[in-house]
């Protein structure tokens, strides 16, 4: 399907080259508010083209890590670098031309059409006072095409279903022409068909993707690599087959599970608690 799948074992096994390698990297980043440590000493490298899943229970720091990586929050410890330069060095606009984010719930009161929403993605590429160029129009068209929203382009954003709104946000992110895409639980509140459609779309993109997920089976099916967080700390990192073991699931989520190994990826089956005596 794409190069990243083929290169999976190699990239997962060679963290030593990460310093020099291009891509987005969080180096021992932490984030604390007045009284609480949200994230502590997290290191993650997102290499070109790969799909990395970010797992962990609610409140484990997934969203915070994504916001640090996008430069929307400043780390209180550690540093986030893009091709070796820190995000403040890269600059806000240049960062937005490289990294696109899709948040969990996009909401607006403005009456925008789908095309207008997608065209927002061109803002970091355009100068003040300049009109939309042919390049902008092509990027918006391509993003609509890729997400299957071409027919909906003229429709009001508010008339879209939840799945279509997520697709429109992904289209907006693609219009940014990023090389890194960060998604925060994009499959929440979607029915199963739309969850699969959306993940097929995302992993089919020729860019590096970091995607926070709740569903372990979807993570196993779609991700090259997984990073598991608990209470702000990394508890496991590696291929789905390495990471998703019954003991890790018990430790992180506090539930019992059977893991069988299908060809390609592990399959997780959660078990009921034993009846109380």
What is the contact surface with another protein in residues (CB under 8 A)? 67, 70-72, 92-97, 100-101, 103, 106-113, 116-117, 120-121, 123-124, 126, 128-129, 131-132, 155-156, 158-159, 176
Smallest separation, CB 129 to another protein (Å): 7
76 contacts 249 by C-beta, under 8 angstroms = no
Q: What is the Cα–Cα distance from 184 to 265, expressed in whole angstroms?
A: 22
Pairing of strands 208-212, 51-55: parallel
Q: What is the Cα–Cα distance from 90 to 69, expressed in whole angstroms?
A: 13
Cβ closest to another protein, residue 40 vs residue 103: 103
Cβ closest to another protein, residue 184 vs residue 224: 184
Cβ closest to another protein, residue 17 vs residue 156: 156
Q: What is the Cα–Cα distance from 276 to 96, expressed in whole angstroms?
A: 53
Cβ closest to another protein, residue 70 vs residue 248: 70
Smallest separation, CB 122 to another protein (Å): 9
Q: At what angle do helices 134-146 and 162-175 cross, to 10 degrees?
A: 140
Beta strand extents in 133-232 (DSSP E only): 180-184, 208-212, 225-230
Smallest separation, CB 108 to another protein (Å): 5
Q: What is the Cα–Cα distance from 157 to 165, expressed in whole angstroms?
A: 7
Smallest separation, CB 185 to another protein (Å): 15
Cβ closest to another protein, residue 72 vs residue 241: 72
Cβ closest to another protein, residue 20 vs residue 134: 134
Reduced to 3 states, what is the DSSP secondary structure of residue 147? Answer: coil
Q: Which of 117, 100, 99, 96 is CA-nearest to residue 108?
A: 117
Smallest separation, CB 140 to another protein (Å): 12
Smallest separation, CB 36 to another protein (Å): 17
Residue count of the chain, please give it.
277
């Amino acid at each position: 399907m794409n190069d990243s799948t083929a290169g999976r074992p190699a990239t997962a096994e060679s963290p030593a080259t990460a310093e020099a390698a291009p891509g987005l990297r969080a180096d021992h980043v932490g984030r604390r508010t007045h009284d609480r440590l949200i994230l502590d000493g997290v290191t993650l490298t997102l290499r070109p083209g790969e799909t990395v899943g970010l797992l962990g229970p609610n409140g484990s720091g997934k969203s915070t890590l994504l916001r640090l990586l996008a430069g929307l929050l400043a780390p209180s410890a550690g540093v986030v670098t893009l091709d070796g330069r820190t995000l403040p060095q890269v600059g806000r606009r240049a960062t937005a031309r490289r990294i696109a984010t899709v948040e969990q719930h996009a909401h607006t009161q403005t009456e925008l059409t789908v095309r207008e929403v997608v065209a927002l993605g061109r803002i970091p590429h355009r100068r003040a006072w300049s009109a939309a160029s042919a390049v902008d129009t092509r990027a918006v068209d391509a993003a609509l095409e890729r997400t299957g929203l071409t027919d909906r382009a003229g429709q009001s954003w508010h008339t879209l279903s939840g799945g279509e709104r997520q697709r429109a946000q992904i289209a907006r992110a693609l219009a940014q022409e990023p090389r890194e895409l960060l998604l925060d639980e994009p499959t929440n509140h979607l029915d199963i068909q739309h969850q699969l459609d959306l993940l097929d779309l995302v992993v089919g993109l020729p860019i590096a993707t970091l995607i926070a997920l709740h569903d372990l089976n979807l993570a196993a099916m779609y991700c090259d690599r997984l990073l598991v967080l608990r209470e702000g700390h990394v508890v496991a990192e590696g291929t789905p087959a390495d990471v998703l073991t019954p003991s890790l699931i018990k430790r992180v989520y506090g539930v019992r599970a059977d893991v069988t190994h299908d060809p390609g990826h592990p399959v997780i089956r959660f078990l009921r608690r034993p009846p109380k005596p």
